[in-house]
Structures are given as C-alpha cells and as structure tokens.
C-alpha cells in the first residue's frame, strides 16, 4: 500500500469516519481496515509530511510523520536538518515513497495540493518577485477561501464566491492577481488530468470598480519630500530624487551600477532589478525582461557623480548601506520615515512606487510623446502608459481653450 501525503498539522482525531473522509483516496486500504486485516507494518505506512522550514541558522528542517488509522495517532515522527532546501525536499520525497498516485492527487484538498506541487506550480515564472507575490496570494486569500475544497471538485461557482470575498478587503488589481495565481494552479491540475477544464477561465471576471486616480506630487511637494528625506540621511534624499527623475522601479533603482550611468548621453542603462524577499531575494532581469535606457536630467548629474565617488567607478552597486552591503527597499522605507513624511504632507496613501507615477506624469505634461514615455518607463504597451499617466491628462482643458477661442 502506498503512503498517504498529508501535512502533520492537518490530521486530527475525528473517529474512523473522519479519517475515512480525509483519506478517501485509499479506499482499498480501508476495506482492509474494516476486515481487521491490518498488519503492524501496514498500520504505520500512512505517512504525512510538512514542507521544509528554514531555521535561524540558515539550515532547513524537514519532518515526516506516520499516521496509524487504527489508534488514530501519529505514531512516529522523523526530523532531519539539511544545509540546502533541495536536500530536504529530496529526503521528504524519499520518505514518502515517490510521487502521489492519481487517486491520491484527486482527493487532495487545495491547500495540500499547493504544498505538494509547489515546485511545479511556480516553475517558469519570470522572477522571484512574481513567485513571492503568488505565495502571498495563496497564503492570504486562496487558502483561507478555497483551501478546504478538493482540487478535483473545484468549480467556477467556487471561484466566483471566493472573488467576492477577496473584493471586500482587496483592490481590483489584487483580486485579479489572486485570480491569475489560482488559474496557474488549476492549469497544472488540468495537465495532470485532475480537472477537465480550468474553472477560473469559466468563472466570471470580477467587476471593474471605478478607477482611482494615481496620486502624484507637484514640483513643490517633490522638492519638500527630497529635503525631508535628506534630513534623515543624504542617501534617502538621493534615492528619492533619482526615482523622481528617472521613473525607475524600486528594485531597478537599487540594482543600478556606476557603469550604468552614461554622462555623455545623459542616460542610465537599466539592465537588472532586485526581486524576491528574504532568503529568496536575488538579482534578476527587469519586469519586462528587457533592458532599457532612461533619461538623466541635468539636476541628477551632481547626485550621481557624488554617489560614484563614494562607491567607486568599478563597484557593483551604486547604492550601498552603512556597512557596504546592498540596500533593501523595506529598510529604506522604515529607516527614512517615508510613510510618515508623505502622510504629514497630506498623502496618506502615497507609496514609493508613486514616485514613478509622478515621473511619468511629468514627462506627459512636458509634451513628450507616449511612445517615448512607454520606452523610458519599460511598459509593455501604450495602454499601460496611458493608464499610468491619467493624472497628467490636460487634453480636455486645452481642447476647451481652443474651442472657446474659435467662438
């Protein structure tokens, strides 16, 4: 008999009927149990597992438990510690006795399915940041709403009910991101022939709410923000000024090198970005996977030259911390007091990413073509550029002046 793949924390003592419900994929095994024909060895082969957990010392702890359906207890647990996560995963797979069978897969609940097939679900994603975002969607929304549903029983109606719950606490963009993550999970289930079709595709898309205007700063507000950040630390003010002048994303900004700055052409070559969080943080290609050039306004030249003098022309990072290490965006926000400063300015919902929106709006107001703005911003299409720059629209006002001038 094959071993069952169930996380230790999910097994509870609910009587034989409860165990039968949890392990209904093992019908043959329970027929043997009903006949009283279990051997001592067979009783202990219903194993359960949890994914490896990283310890404070950087090592990975793996645990496997064996569930006895007669005594309805976990009769034995084995724990091992490994230097690398893949070693811990390989050991768990070895203890489990191989991949789950088709019947076991079909009866996995969504939370267990994601746990078992996490590597397959996230395989092929463009960056570790996307994987981190998807893991957040799974933890905060998908598992609480749908984790109890068997993967084979997931229907479009379940997806629509979950979308309504997500929409009560999250924005339309977050709901759509969660929906895309769930769709990726279901696509794998379709490939494994657990689902005939993707229920997310059949489910109605969440209604589009009234689009909120992207917050941007005026020139005076931007100058005030830079000055306030420089009072905390010159580094923080320089970061904000470069973000406002170039429109680069936070991960791209912190990954710049001195060699990326071309003072002759007054441009900056954006080739890479920091993505992921915690131990998964790494340098990766930009969001579009393509490098690009962004403008270097003359006001930024003294700032960038000063930074290069501090770190050296051959340094791998333009921005470094007090100890010479790479900067983390979360640390910049917390230590600079950015959120408190913009809140005092009357913009409680303003984010660091909105510095990018401010830069794009400034380009639009300056009369730069949308095609050029798209290239500088690294957008996939003009539609994205137009959505980013709605706050900069002055078409109606200018048109009305022309119309009134004709009369």
Distance CA 229, CA 224 (A): 9
pLDDT for position 123: 86
Using one digit for the tens of pLDDT, what is the confidence trace for 79-136? 888 887 777 777 777 676 655 666 777 788 999 899 888 888 988 887 777 888 899 9
Distance CA 163, CA 207 (A): 10
Tell which residue, 73, 71, 68, has the closest CA to residue 43: 68
Neighbouring C-alpha atoms within 13 Å toward the C-beta of 166: 29
Strand order in the sheet with 73-82: 46-54, 60-68, 73-82
Inter-axis angle of helices 172-191 and 128-137, to 10 degrees? 100
Whole-prediction pTM value? 0.63
Residue 122 · residue 134 · CB < 8 Å: yes
Long-range contacts of 188-192 (CB under 8 A, 24+ apart): 188/117, 188/120, 188/121, 189/113, 189/151, 189/152, 189/154, 192/105
pLDDT for position 386: 81
- Reading the block at residue 113, the tokens are 């399915």
Distance CA 36, CA 28 (A): 13
- Reading the block at residue 128, the tokens are 């570790």
Using one digit for the tens of pLDDT, what is the confidence trace for 125-170? 877 778 888 999 999 999 999 999 999 999 999 999 999 999 988 8
Distance CA 239, CA 46 (A): 55
pLDDT tens per residue across all 407 residues of the chain: 444 444 443 333 344 444 444 444 344 444 444 444 434 333 333 344 457 888 888 888 888 776 665 665 666 778 888 887 777 777 777 676 655 666 777 788 999 899 888 888 988 887 777 888 899 999 999 999 999 999 999 999 999 999 999 998 888 889 999 999 999 999 999 998 899 999 999 999 988 765 566 788 989 999 999 999 999 999 999 999 999 999 999 999 999 999 999 999 999 999 999 987 777 788 888 888 889 999 999 999 999 999 999 999 999 999 998 888 889 999 999 999 999 999 999 999 899 999 999 999 899 888 899 899 999 999 988 888 887 766 666 555 556 666 676 54
Any idea of the CA torsion for 63, 69, 71, 75, to the nearest 10 degrees?
-20
pLDDT for position 7: 42
């Amino acid at each position: 008999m094959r071993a069952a793949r169930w996380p230790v924390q999910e097994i509870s003592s609910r009587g034989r009927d409860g165990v039968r419900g949890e392990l209904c994929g093992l019908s043959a095994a329970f027929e043997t149990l009903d006949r009283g024909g279990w051997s001592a060895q067979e009783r202990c082969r219903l194993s359960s597992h949890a994914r490896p957990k990283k310890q404070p010392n950087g090592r990975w702890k793996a645990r496997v438990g064996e569930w006895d359906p007669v005594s309805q207890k976990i009769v034995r647990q084995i724990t091992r510690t490994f230097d690398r996560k893949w070693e811990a995963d390989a050991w768990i797979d070895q203890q489990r006795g191989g991949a789950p069978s088709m019947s076991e897969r079909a009866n996995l609940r969504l939370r267990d399915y994601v746990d078992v097939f996490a590597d397959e679900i996230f395989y092929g994603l463009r960056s570790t940041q996307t994987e981190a975002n998807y893991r957040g969607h799974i933890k905060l929304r998908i598992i609480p709403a749908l984790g109890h549903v068997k993967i084979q029983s997931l229907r479009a109606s379940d997806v629509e009910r979950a979308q309504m719950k997500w929409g009560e606490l999250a924005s339309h963009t977050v709901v759509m991101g969660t929906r895309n993550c769930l769709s990726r999970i279901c696509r794998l289930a379709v490939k494994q022939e657990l689902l005939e079709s993707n229920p997310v595709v059949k489910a109605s898309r969440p209604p589009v709410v009234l689009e909120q205007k992207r917050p941007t700063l005026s020139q005076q507000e931007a100058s005030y923000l830079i000055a306030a950040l420089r009072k905390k630390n010159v580094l923080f003010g320089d970061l904000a000024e470069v973000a406002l002048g170039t429109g680069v994303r936070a991960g791209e900004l912190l990954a710049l090198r001195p060699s990326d700055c071309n003072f002759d052409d007054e441009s900056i070559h954006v080739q890479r970005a920091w993505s992921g969080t915690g131990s998964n943080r790494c340098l990766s290609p930009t969001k579009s996977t393509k490098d690009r050039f962004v403008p270097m306004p003359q006001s930024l030249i003294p700032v960038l030259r000063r930074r290069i003098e501090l770190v050296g022309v051959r340094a791998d990072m333009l921005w470094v911390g007090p100890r010479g290490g790479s900067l983390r965006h979360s640390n910049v926000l917390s230590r600079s007091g950015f959120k408190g400063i913009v809140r005092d300015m009357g913009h409680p919902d303003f984010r660091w990413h909105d510095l990018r929106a401010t830069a794009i709006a400034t380009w639009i107001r300056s009369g730069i073509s949308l095609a050029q703005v798209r290239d500088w911003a690294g957008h996939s299409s003009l539609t994205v550029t137009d959505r980013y720059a709605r706050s900069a629209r002055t078409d109606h006002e200018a048109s009305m002046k022309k119309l009134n001038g004709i009369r």
